[in-house]
Amino acid sequence: MSAGVALVVDDSRVNRLVLVRQLETLGLEVMEVENGLEALELLRDRPAAFDVVLLDVIMPELDGYATLEAMKSDETIRHIPVIIVSGVEELESVVRCIELGATDYLVKPIEPSILRARINASLASKRLHDLEAEYLARQTSLNETIERQKTELARFLSPQIAQLISSSDGEGLLAGHRRQITAVFCDLRGLTSFAEQAEPEELVAVLGEYHTMIGEEIIEHAGTLEHFAGDGVMTFFNDPVPQPDHVERAVRMSLAIRDRFQPLTDGWRKRGYELGLGIGIAVGYATLGRIGFEGRYDYGAIGNVVILASRLSSQAAANQILLSQRAHAMVEGLVEVESVGELSLKGFSRPVPASNVLAVR
């Protein structure tokens, strides 16, 4: 039998000595106290130190009944098996102790073979409890780690993508699907010239202000951020969460970004930086899902709609929001626009009609 630690609680020094010797022959380490108060103090101070308690019934200060009841009412020590070892043979005492939570009730003098069997059973029960407690602690730690990782993941991913990865239905969407989306591209005008003149720290600070502002609006309008690439930002709507008003959301977000961009522009101008913002919006079908390789995946959209939004953004003058013809048709009653005619865009064989969004009606 594997060694354990037993606590003997008995007011009789002779009885304690007999029990200590019997327990030591079974390979246990033994500690002894002479009343219930001392036992409770020791157990509460070192709850993990003991594997079994052998408890007398008739004792001064605090008897065995009260000691047992106090132990089983204390969450930190109630799991420790208690064997009552008493000279009281009455059935009423046996029943009372068992009802209070005792593992067993042995009447003095104790037959060594019976004591061995009861100790073995109690130690097995204690070890099972310890294994369960260890498993639960590990499971709790694992769950906490997973939640921390989800929290960290959400810092680096769009909230919708973080939820997608951790959901039971997410794998199907990650594997790839086709859906109509509204794609939005934003990038800065004058950044190349600014980067040539500014210190790296200044460039990082400006981009940080710009990204923070755009990020807040993406979250506010429930867009899905695909990526930041220097001054370029790509966002799309209607995936992975369907949005019947995805074009309207894209337009309202773009207008909010343009409005918030102006104070930033004024602040940068005072520091000698001339920067503008161009935005392109297009609607169309795209293939969406996991893109990348083992160890580095993104959730992205592939299709002409993405290319068109990017080209419109590149073509936009400072503070323009260029809307594709199809996107304009879907929000025509909502926005005021001015035509910019047909644009010759890289990668498109024919000129593309576009409009500049002025305001929401």
Quick: pLDDT tens for 62-100.
Answer: 999 999 999 999 999 999 999 999 988 899 999 999 999
What does the mean pLDDT of the chain come to?
Answer: 87
Q: Across 114-123, 171-180, 211-220, 250-259, which has the greatest mean pLDDT?
A: 250-259
Handedness of CA 287, 212, 217, 264 (dihedral sign): negative
Q: Strands, E, within the chain: which ranges?
A: 5-9, 29-33, 52-55, 82-86, 104-107, 177-189, 224-229, 232-237, 276-293, 296-302, 320-324, 335-343, 352-360
The span from the CA of 357 to the CA of 281, in Å, is 10
- What's the average model confidence in pLDDT over 150-161? 55
Lowest mean pLDDT of 149-163, 180-194, 250-264, 313-327, name the range: 149-163
- What's the average model confidence in pLDDT over 48-63? 92
Distances from the Cα of 338 to the Cα of 273, 328, 332, 335, angstroms: 29, 11, 12, 10
Pairing, β 104-107 against β 82-86: parallel
3-state DSSP of 149-195: HHHHHHHHCCHHHHHHHCCCCHHHHHHCEEEEEEEEEEEEECHHHHH
Q: Give helix 64-72 / helix 91-100 axis angle, nearest 10°.
A: 20
Taking alpha carbons only, the member of 86, 87, 38, 88 closest to residue 61 is 38
User: Would the pTM count as exceeding 0.85?
Assistant: no
Three-class DSSP category at 120 = helix
Token pair belonging to 56: 């007398």
Of 256 and 123, the structure prediction assigns the larger pLDDT to 256
Handedness of CA 114, 115, 119, 122 (dihedral sign): positive
The sheet that has 29-33: what strands, in order across it? 29-33, 5-9, 52-55, 82-86, 104-107
Q: What share of the chain is helix, strand, coil (3-state, %, to 5)?
A: 45, 25, 25
Runs of H (alpha helix) within 166-274: 170-175, 191-197, 200-220, 246-270
Amino acid (1-letter code) at residue 221: H
pLDDT confidence band for 316 (50 / 70 / 90): very high
Residues near 266 by Cβ (< 8 Å), separated by ≥ 6?
none
pLDDT (0 to 100) of residue 80: 93
Contact 71, 78 (CB under 8 A): yes
- What's the average model confidence in pLDDT over 205-223? 90
Residue for token digits 């033994």?
A: 30
pLDDT (0 to 100) of residue 156: 46
Walk me through the domains of the chain, giving residue ranges and CATH numbers. Answer: 5-135 (3.40.50.2300), 170-360 (3.30.70.1230)
Does pLDDT of 165 surpass 50?
A: yes
Lowest mean pLDDT of 13-17, 258-262, 267-271, name the range: 267-271
Does pLDDT of 174 surpass 80?
A: no
Three-class DSSP category at 54 = strand
Does pLDDT of 267 surpass 90?
A: no
